Structure 1
Amino acid sequence: MKVLLFQKGEKMLRKSGIGRAMRHQMQALDLAGVEYTTNPDDDYDIVHINTVDPYARKMAKKANKKRIPVVYHAHSTEEDFKNSFVLSNQIAPVFKRWIMSSYKLGDYILTPTPYSKEILEGYGIQKPIQAISNGIDLNRFSKSDEKVKKYREFFNLSDDDRVILSVGLYFERKGLPDFIELAQRMPEYTFIWFGFSPLASVTKKVRDAIKEKPDNLIMPGYISGDIIEGAYADADIFLFPSYEETEGIVVLEALAGKCQVMLRDIPVYDPWMVDQVNCYKANNNDEFERLVKAYLEDEIPNTIAKGYEVARERSIEAIGYQLKEVYERNLRRKI
């Protein structure tokens, strides 16, 4: 069995969750002993598609004609498209029709969480849909003194600095304005937001919030490698105020880095993230502020150990074997 992991525009997607998901798939298949290629000109038995661009649709149609099974990975929904960039809400209904027609080209649909599976089923898609996590490389995010040192030196942090971390594009949906407001409310702590989007592409609410960012908020842009991995391992809190996700790979990264996780209480985290068990959840900035202060003042316990168990259940190794089973099942169905 040989799988074509089809992807175009890898450079453009590199900084996105979809880009990380595709890299995770390669690593997962290596560990599961599944042969794969990224070259459409190679021979292959099954096609796995992650994007909804015209190239991906063309590839799916080509495979359909040849009766080659197509596994379509549904990373996007109308819900997580909204409140992203300028005009995203106006374009969202068109985007929904496009992704639905793309996903229907698959023989089998994968999506990261039970929540996103429920959304797709609500669209009326009749193809089989299965929830499989995007997975996480536990080794990459295990604590390293060298990575922590690089991170602390990069941001010139003192031993007394208490750090609240978040990661994401400059999307309103990601909760960046809320994160900026929390930094304004708590000047005694250091806030860091990793990630970047061109300001011309983001909403006015995001641009206005960034203009008002306080001095205790650091926004270094997109940084990969040792520095962000050191941040996950050393920051006091990973606070992710996103309003909509299909999974949230950065949440898995924080759990794998054994960072205390605080999340907005939204449906995507049910049932795998449980308030006061493996994370803390809040509904608004008043609640986030109370949680942050209570945690940093040792008034509530950490949930780090239970959080790490969630990451371990979604290890790259486990995901590789789940993907292998999906491929084998779809090959049998096509015979």
Structure 2
Amino acid sequence: MRVLNYLELADRLDRSGIATSVDHQRRALADTDVEVLTTPWSDGHPAWAAGGKLAFDDPVFRDYDVAHCNMIGPGSVAVARHAERNDIPLVLHAHVTREDFRGSFRGSNLVAPALGQYLKWFYSQADTVLCPSEYTKGVLESYPIDAPIQPVTNGIDTEPLAGFESFREEYRERYDLDGTVVFAVGSVFERKGLTTFCELARATDYDFAWFGTYDDGPHGSESVRKWTSDPPENVTFTGWVDDIRGAYGAGDVFLFPSKVENQGIVVLEAMACGKAVVLSDIPVFREYYEDGHDCLICSDEEEFREALDRLEADPDLRDRLGENAKATARDHGLDRVGERLTEVYEGLR
């Protein structure tokens, strides 16, 4: 079976969670009998190459048995229409929702309602919509989406994290980190709990570090520009890091007070590294993780602060949460992703 696994604008999304999820899909499928194509275009031509208009004729497209698109732009629309015209099963992966688009960059809250209408139309073209969680499935059903929806974990690839411990001293020295380091990983957005992260730093004496890119220019949100330009004294925003293993090596307690997530790959990465994880009380985290077993889940700033102090004072609690977190991460291995994707593809043929 030949499957198109397409990520539109891959070069612009290479540092995103979407790109990580797609990389997980492709690595998982490499261990199956599925032959993966990563571009739909023959000779590298995009679907709108002819006269500046969308083209859906067969010569533009390669041959595949199932089309699986991971983004929502014009290239993915072209693939969807080509699939409909040629009776090719279409899978659309809902990495983007109206809810998680809010709070991403300047003006995103204004655009979100229109995006929701577009996503309702776009995802409804699919034979099957995939999404990372039951929570996201419920969000899509509320639009509503006129297509079957199946949750499939984004998974976790532990291979790129191997040896993270050896980076500890280098990255702590590089960013002047000492003692118990509270850290986050990923692009800096208000949606991911930026203000809570910084307010907690102000209220404690721990070193805080956020490993990830941020936009402090005109496209960045007001809160991102505010906090990154004048952070609390004990907060470091590192920007892009050379090796993500440095982040997980340098940090001790992974703090992720996100307001909205479809799953949160960085949470699974932190768990795979055996870190004590502190999360916000949102539906998707309650779905996948258990408070007091593999993480601590907090509903307000006071609870976050108490959780950090508990973990500082109780090394046994840190170790127990970390060991259980490793087991949780193993439940989201790439073998599971490969099995689920293959089931979906075969069910559509």
TM-score range, shorter chain: over 0.9
Q: Distance in 2 between matches of 1:143 and 1:238?
A: 18
Name stretches of at least 5 consecutive residues in structure 1 with no aligned partner.
none
Question: Residue type matched to 1:52 in 2?
Answer: I
TM-score of the aligned structures, taking structure 1 as reference length: 0.92
Instruction: Identify which range, 190-199 or 294-303, moves more after superposition.
Output: 294-303
How many residues are matched? 326
Query: Which of the residues 154, 170, 175 maps onto 1:134?
Result: 154
> Which protein, 1 or 2, shows the higher relative CO under an 8 Å CA cutoff with sep ≥ 6?
1
- Say what the alpha-carbon RMSD is for the aligned residues: 1.7
Q: Distance in 1 between matches of 2:288 and 2:263?
A: 10
1:327 and 2:349 correspond: no
The alpha carbon displacement at 1:143 in A equals: 4.3
Match of 1:58 in 2: 78
1:265 and 2:259 correspond: no
Q: Distance in 1 between matches of 2:219 and 2:119?
A: 22
Q: Deviations over 1:86-113 (max 9, x none)?
A: 1111111100011111111211010000
The answer to whether the 8 Å contact 1:29/1:320 transfers is yes
1:312 and 2:311 correspond: no
Instruction: Identify which range, 7-16 or 202-211, moves more after superposition.
Output: 202-211
The alpha carbon displacement at 1:235 in A equals: 2.0
Match of 1:205 in 2: 223
1:15 and 2:15 correspond: yes
1:231–1:204 CA distance, 2 compared to 1 (3 A): closer
1:177 and 2:216 correspond: no
The alpha carbon displacement at 1:276 in A equals: 0.7
1:108 and 2:132 correspond: no
1:149–1:300 CA distance, 2 compared to 1 (3 A): closer
Q: Look up the SS of the partner of 2:126 in the other structure.
A: coil
The alpha carbon displacement at 1:145 in A equals: 4.1
1:121 and 2:150 correspond: no
1:280 and 2:300 correspond: no
1:174–1:223 CA distance, 2 compared to 1 (3 A): same
Q: Look up the SS of the partner of 1:246 in the other structure.
A: coil
Question: Residue type matched to 1:44 in 2?
Answer: Y
1:90 and 2:90 correspond: no
Q: Distance in 2 between matches of 1:224 and 1:97?
A: 38
The answer to whether the 8 Å contact 1:8/1:55 transfers is yes
Q: Deviations over 1:200-243 (max 9, x none)?
A: 22222332233331232111112253xx2243245210000110
Q: Look up the SS of the partner of 1:5 in the other structure.
A: strand
Match of 2:29 in 1: 29
Match of 1:45 in 2: 65
Instruction: Identify which range, 196-205 or 66-75, moves more after superposition.
Output: 196-205
Match of 2:94 in 1: 74
The answer to whether the 8 Å contact 1:138/1:256 transfers is yes
The answer to whether the 8 Å contact 2:165/2:249 transfers is no
The answer to whether the 8 Å contact 1:166/1:240 transfers is yes
1:99 and 2:116 correspond: no
TM-score of the aligned structures, taking structure 2 as reference length: 0.89
The alpha carbon displacement at 1:43 in A equals: 2.1
Q: Distance in 1 between matches of 2:190 and 2:237?
A: 15
Q: Distance in 2 between matches of 1:112 and 1:125?
A: 16
The answer to whether the 8 Å contact 1:275/1:281 transfers is yes
1:295 and 2:311 correspond: yes
Instruction: Identify which range, 254-263 or 211-220, moves more after superposition.
Output: 211-220
Q: Look up the SS of the partner of 2:11 in the other structure.
A: helix
Q: Distance in 2 between matches of 1:229 and 1:13?
A: 20
Q: Distance in 2 between matches of 1:313 and 1:284?
A: 29
The answer to whether the 8 Å contact 2:105/2:189 transfers is yes
The answer to whether the 8 Å contact 1:115/1:270 transfers is no
Question: Residue type matched to 2:279 in 1?
Answer: L
Q: Look up the SS of the partner of 1:258 in the other structure.
A: coil
Question: Residue type matched to 1:263 in 2?
Answer: L
1:83–1:39 CA distance, 2 compared to 1 (3 A): closer
Q: Distance in 2 between matches of 1:249 and 1:87?
A: 25
Q: Distance in 1 between matches of 2:3 and 2:182?
A: 41
Q: Distance in 2 between matches of 1:318 and 1:224?
A: 29
Name stretches of at least 5 consecutive residues in structure 2 with no aligned partner.
43-61
Match of 1:190 in 2: 207
Q: Deviations over 1:169-199 (max 9, x none)?
A: 232111112111112222x321110122322
1:65–1:22 CA distance, 2 compared to 1 (3 A): same
Question: Residue type matched to 1:103 in 2?
Answer: Y
The alpha carbon displacement at 1:301 in A equals: 1.4
The answer to whether the 8 Å contact 1:104/1:125 transfers is yes
1:280–1:139 CA distance, 2 compared to 1 (3 A): same
Query: Which of the residues 209, 218, 232 maps onto 2:236?
Result: 218
The answer to whether the 8 Å contact 2:183/2:255 transfers is yes
